[in-house]
Amino acid sequence: MATLTTPTTPLESTNACATAVTVAHGDGIGPEIMQASLRILREAGAKLDVETIEIGEAVYRRGVSSGIETSSWDSLRRTGVFYKAPITTPQGGGFKSLNVTVRKTLGLFANIRPTVAYHPFVRTRHPGMDVVIVRENEEDVYAGIEHRQTDQVYQCLKLISRPGSEKIIWYAFDYARRNGRKKVSCFTKDNIMKMTDGLFHKVFDEIAAEFPDLEHEHRIVDIGAAQLADRPTDFDVIVMPNLYGDILSDVAAQIAGSVGLAGSANIGDRIAMFEAIHGSAPDIANKGVANPSGLLHAGVMMLVHLGQCEAATLVHNALLRTLEDGIHTADVFDVAQSTQKATTEEFARAVITRLGQRPEQLRPVSYQPVAHQQATRMIARREPEVKEIVGVDVFLQWTGGAPDELATKLISTGTAKLPLTMITNRGVKVWPQGFPETFCTDHWRCRFQNGTVISHRDILELLERVTASGFDFIKTENLCTFNGKLGYSMGQGQ
C-alpha cells in the first residue's frame, strides 16, 4: 500500500532528483487548467523538472503547418515525457493535427482512456461504469493516405499491420493484468473488412491465449458500440483499431459523466504523452471556470508512469474527495448534488486542501510501483511468407456507359497471362452478369488474372495495352498469395 501522507515542501523545478518533463500550456482553457494541475501535482510532492515548450495556435499562425517548432521536438525526445494541455487547431488551410503528428512521429502506439462514473456525485446515466478503452494510435485510416482518384471518387487507405496489432493488443492484455482488470474485449468490423479488421481479430485471439487468467471476447463494433452505450458495466478493458477507438472513447467519457473529467495517456516504447481528452474549449477560455480534472487525471497517469506512485495516489484521492464533497466546476455543477460552484482556481485549492484525504464513498485508489513495467513485448521475428503475384486489379476512370460496354472495350487489352475476369464498381461486381440496378460511378476496378503466377513485367505489358487503348488508369493493386493463401478480397457478388 502506498502510504497516504501529506507532503511537506512543494518541489521546485530545480530539485536534483526531479524527473524532466516537457510541458505545453496550449490554447483556450489550456493555460488555466495546466497552471492549476501543475500546482496540485507539485503540492502533492511530485518531483517534476518542467521544460516548457510552445505548441498550437501561435505556432500555426507563424506558418508552421505542424503546430510545433523543430526545437520542441528536441525537448520531447530528451525528456521522453510530454504533459500537454489542449490546443486549438485552426480550421482548413492545410494545418495538420498536432496530436496525430506527435503520436505518429514519436511512436506513441497506445492511447489509454479510462472512463469512470462518479455516481452519485456527478450526474451519469451509468452508475458503476468503469471502462478503459485502449485505442491503437498510429494505423488504420489515420495513416492519412488519401487521394482523389477520379472526378467522382475519393479514397482513404486503411492500413492495419501485424506488428502494430500485436503491440497494441499485447499492451491491452498486459495493462489489464497490471491493473487488476478481469476482461479484455475487442471491437472490429471483420464481418466486412475480413483482411484488415480480420487480422486485428486474429491477433487478438492469438494474444488472448497468452493471458489465460483474463477473460476475452470479440464483438462486431456496431453492436459492441450500442451495448457499450447501453450497458457499459458489461465491459472492463476494450481494445480497438484507431478510428473505432477514437469515436467510442469520447462516447464512453461523455456517458460516464463529462468529457471534462477524463484524461488519457499516449504510450510509446520510449516516449509518453499525457493529456485531457477534451479540446481547448474556446467558448469558456479566460473566464477561469474550466474544469481541470481531465488534465489532472492525465497528470496522475503521468506520475504513475514516472513511478511517483505516492504523489499520484495523493492527487487522485484528493480529487475524488473534492468531487465527493460537491465542489464542482460549472460543467458538472448540479444543484441537486453540488455544494459549491467552483472556479478553476477554487477547485484547485479545494483539491490541494484535501491532499492526504481519501474519498468516503467513491473507491479510493492506491497506486503501486510496478517492479518491471514493460510497455511492449519484443515482436517475434516471423519468417516472411512466400509471396507470388497471381493477377492485377487495374483501376480506371471511365464514363463511357454501361459495364458491358467497358468490358467489350477492355477484353481486347487482356493478355494470355492476364485476361479480364471481373469488373466491379465501388466493390460490387458489375461484369460479368451484373445487375442493371447497380449504380455506377466513374471509378472501375478491373481484375485481370488466369490463376497462374505472373511477373511485374506481365503487368507492365498489360498496362501498355490498356493505355494504348485510350483508358485512363488510376492505379493498380497486385493480387498476391502468401504461402499459397489469397492476399486479396473477392468482389462483392463474385
Q: Which stretches of the chain bind ligand NAD, using CB under 6 A?
A: 29, 86-89, 99, 259-260, 275, 278-284, 290-291, 294, 331
Query: At 388, is the secondary structure helix, strand, or coil?
Result: strand
Nearer to ligand NAD by Cβ, of 103 and 445: the residue is 103
Measured from the CB atom, is 172 or 289 closer to ligand NAD? 289
Max Cα–Cα distance, the chain, nearest Å: 85
Minimum CB distance to ligand NAD smaller for 86 or for 164? 86
Give least dist CB 272 to ligand NAD, A. 15
CB 187 within 8 A of CB 221: yes
Residue closer to ligand NAD (CB basis): 184 or 262? 262
Residue 69 Cβ vs ligand NAD, minimum distance, rounded to whole Å: 17
Dist. CA 402–CA 431, nearest whole Å = 10
Residue 156: other Cβ atoms inside 10 A: 12
Nearer to ligand NAD, 342 or 365 (CB): 342
Rounded Cα–Cα distance for residues 122 and 202 (Å): 39
Residue nearest to ligand NAD (CB): 279
Q: Is 37 helix (H, G, I), strand (E, B) or coil?
A: helix
Give the nearer residue to ligand NAD in terms of CB position, either 290 or 315.
290
Q: Which is nearer to ligand NAD, 32 or 51 (CB)?
A: 32
Nearer to ligand NAD, 38 or 406 (CB): 38
Minimum CB distance to ligand NAD smaller for 79 or for 280: 280
Question: 371: burial class by Cβ within 10 Å (0-12, 13-18, 19+)?
Answer: exposed
Q: Starting from the edge strand earliest in sequence, which strands make up the sheet with 272-276, in order?
A: 48-53, 19-24, 81-84, 272-276, 263-267, 110-116, 130-136, 237-240, 183-188, 215-220
Residue 417 has phi, psi (to 5 degrees) of -80, -25
Distance of closest approach, residue 198 Cβ to ligand NAD, in angstroms = 31
CA-based nearest residue to 264, from 282, 280, 246: 246
User: What is the nearest approach in angstroms of ligand NAD to the Cβ of residue 344?
Assistant: 8
Query: Which of these, 284, 372, 365, lies nearest to 330 by C-alpha position?
Result: 284
- Report the residue number, 29 or 172, with the smaller CB distance to ligand NAD: 29
Residue 88 vs 449, nearer CB to ligand NAD = 88
Asked whether 289 and 344 are in contact (CB, 8 A), the reply is yes
In 167-322, beta strands by DSSP E: 183-188, 215-220, 237-240, 263-267, 272-276
Rounded to an integer, what is the distance from CA 407 to the centroid of its chain? 42
CA dihedral 207, 208, 209, 210 (to 10 degrees): 60
For residue 396, the cross-strand partners are 444, 473
Report in angstroms how near the CB of residue 363 gets to ligand NAD at its nearest.
Answer: 23
Nearer to ligand NAD, 296 or 418 (CB): 296
For the bound state, the minimum distance from the C-beta of residue 30 to ligand NAD, rounded and expressed in Å, comes to 8
Least separation in angstroms between CB 342 and ligand NAD:
11
Q: For 149-161, give the DSSP string.
A: -SSS-EEE--B--
User: How far apart (Å, rounded) are the C-alpha atoms in residues 332 and 380?
Assistant: 47
Degrees (nearest 5) of the Cα angle 26, 30, 35?
A: 110
Q: How far apart are CA 162 and CA 137, in angstroms?
A: 14
Residue 141 Cβ, how far from ligand NAD at the closest point, in Å? 18
Minimum distance from residue 253 beta carbon to ligand NAD (Å): 10
Minimum CB separation of residue 27 from ligand NAD in Å reads 8
For residue 104, count CB atoms less than 10 angstroms from its CB and return exposed for 0-12, middle for 13-18, buried for 19 or more.
Answer: middle
Reading the block at residue 156, the C-alpha cell is: 482513404
Helix-helix angle 309-324:30-43, to 10 degrees: 120
Angle at 162 between CA 444 and CA 250, to 5 degrees: 80
Give the shortest CB-245-to-ligand NAD separation in angstroms: 14
Q: How far is the CB of 279 from ligand NAD (least distance, A)?
A: 2
